[in-house]
Chain A
Amino acid sequence: MKSSNNDPADNTVGVENSETEKRFDLTTLPTETSAQKLIRRIDLPVQLTRIAILAFILWIWQSRKIFSGIKVFGVEILPEIIPLFQGVPTEAWDYVTQVWDDSLFWQDFWVTLQEALLGFLYGSLSGFIVGMLLGRFKRAQKVFSPFLIFTNAVPKIALAPILILWYGVDIGSKVALATIIVFFIVQIPVMAAVSGVDPDLDTVATSMGATQMQKFKLVVIPGILGPLFGALRLASIYAILSVVFGEFLASKRGLGQRLLYQINNFGMGAAIALMSLLAILALIFNAGIGFMERKFLRWQDDTTRGNVVSL
């Protein structure tokens, strides 16, 4: 419809306003069935490639080809290893089936799990609280930071023998070692994250008359959850690492103790099984933290969350 007036601001010229105007109909788009959705989620090519890679690794390992002296520029990168020291996947599997019904094994499992969980809990809780307070109260940070920096610089693994003298050969010394290591893994990023919380959010809360406790609850803690979960993921792996090391040094029970015993007796298959089990334990820890992370950080994009484990 053309307008006949001469208004310079008239903008209807050239616009067809008939009822038969062609428009894109969204309902014509094909819809995805739930079965199709599942297939897309599973992403078969990725899964098959993964399985193929795993099978290849197991095959090459089982056939002991990995030790057959690979040379790079004429230099042998893997030395000749006598068969006794090799250990293959079937030996590892044999060990798993053998200990599966052994209650002593599960007692060891429980000891290590307990040590790692307690060390993780104490270390991350104290690291979280100290990191938050020092991040918030700058003068306190000024006072304590030289002490913390020095303590953190101590190679903490070297404390293990001393901790065994102090806390004994039972779980106490392993929990103590894990606590110290986890503490710094959590405290340092939390302290940095507190300083990174948007100061405007603080100003808004202050202007509304929020108390210091309310600001911790409403501004600081929610503001640092991202870095906190990142630190916790790392801490969970280090908790297991430190208790295994502690058990290596001196212990009566535990998976680390079992592992050392097997290695000393050339039980390489068993050692591989135990190490895999410890890795699975770490992954379960990690998945638990990932679950909490997804719950608390729903507001963040999936892409901005760190995913150590993605199955």
Chain B
Amino acid sequence: MTTNAVSLKDVSLIFGGQDTEHVLAVDTINLEIPQGQFVAIVGPSGCGKTTILNMLSGLIKPTVGSVQRHGQEVQGPSRDIGYMLARSALSPWRTARKNVELGLQIHGVGKSERKERAEELLELLHLEGFANAFPSQLSQGMRQRVAIARTLAIDPDLWLMDEPFGALDAQTRLVVQAEFVSLWEKSKESTVIFVTHDLEEAVLLADRVLVMTARPGRIKSDNLIDLPRPRVIDELRFDEKFKAAEHKIWRELRDEII
């Protein structure tokens, strides 16, 4: 039997204590994700979506339960995880290329190799002309693409994406989503966990959409999205099968929001 890329067993997390009241952020989550699956998690704000990513990335530990990757308990940050935050969080003093190199520099990769890898990724994300620009000189869409490049530069096995395109305008978002999904489709067998509040985005991109309840976060439903790959994101939006899938999940999500 092969072990799953990610598995959560009876995971609960409690915030606060001491001076503040205890808050149950996520409640008894059980989840198995096989290698190479693209999973989107949708749910109302504050339902613990980001908390799940933080536990998987090793930034925080669950209060009870077990978080495992490839059958191994997660002990702390790991070098084969790429974690992208909602805000691009680029270092303003680093050029686009140097920002992409950050993870490689932390991992002790040599200068010339770093540069080569960063340039390769910037080209994939259509930013080759902006390698030496500082973040303040880039548009928001470009900054977000630099952040994607930084996340993927370390060649992670697990991609954790926390509402990565939430701040982009509708058109830019479509372009960046399409770039992202094609990067993933080209990558062999990388697992993606993509947190979003945007159901359309979740259904467009993912193989599987998990709907979470309002706090305390529980998994309400687990839906496989049976749409062919490679996906043409901008056209897929008008596809009847897509619309039906989105509508079905929307009914689940609506009860949690309203």
Contact = CB atoms under 8 A, between A and B. Distances in A.
| Chains A and B bind each other | yes
Given A205-B102, A207-B57, A210-B106, A299 B93 contact: yes
Contacts of B71: none
A222 B91 contact: yes
Contact of B77 (A209, A225, A301): A209
B79 interface: yes
A201 B106 CA distance: 13
Interface string B77-110: 1110101010101011110000000110111000
B136 interface: yes
Given A207-B57, A208-B77, A218 B85 contact: no
B134 interface: yes
A287 to B, nearest CB: 23
Contact of A299 (B78, B106, B136): B136
A204 B154 contact: no
Contact of A203 (B85, B136, B154): B85
Size category of the A interface is: 20 to 34
Contact of A209 (B87, B106, B134): B106
B67 to A, nearest CB: 15
A198 B93 CA distance: 12
Given A209-B106, A218-B106, A204 B57 contact: no
Contacts of A201: 89, 91
B80 to A, nearest CB: 10
A203 B92 contact: no
A301 B137 CA distance: 10
A205 B106 contact: yes
Given A209-B107, A222-B93, A299-B136, A204 B102 contact: yes
Contacts of B91: 201, 218-219, 222-223
Contact of A207 (B59, B105, B134): B59
A209 to B, nearest CB: 5
Contacts of A207: 57-59, 77, 81, 83
B195 to A, nearest CB: 14
Interface string A189-210: 0000000001011011111111
Contacts of B83: 203-204, 207-208
A145 interface: no
Given A208-B106, A210-B106, A200 B77 contact: no
Where chain A touches its partner, the secondary structure class is helix
Which of B78, B79, B103 has the most A CB atoms < 10 Å from its CB? B103
A116 B136 CA distance: 38
A216 to B, nearest CB: 13
A201 B81 CA distance: 16
B217 to A, nearest CB: 20
A206 B59 contact: yes
A307 interface: no
A209 B83 CA distance: 11
A206 B77 contact: yes
Contacts of A214: 106
Nearest to B99: A204
Contact of B102 (A200, A218, A223): A218
Nearest to A297: B93
B79 A209 contact: yes
Nearest to B85: A200
B134 A299 contact: yes
A203 B59 contact: yes
A61 B29 CA distance: 82
A208 B156 CA distance: 10
B134 A200 contact: no
6 contacts: A200-B87, A201-B89, A204-B85, A209-B79, A299-B92, A299-B94
The 7 closest A-B pairs by CB, nearest first: A200-B89, A207-B83, A208-B103, A209-B77, A299-B134, A210-B106, A299-B93
Interface of A: 198, 200-201, 203-210, 214, 218-219, 222-223, 225, 297, 299-301
Given A200-B89, A218-B102, A218-B106, 10 more contacts: A204-B150, A206-B77, A207-B77, A207-B83, A208-B102, A208-B107, A209-B79, A209-B107, A222-B91, A223-B93
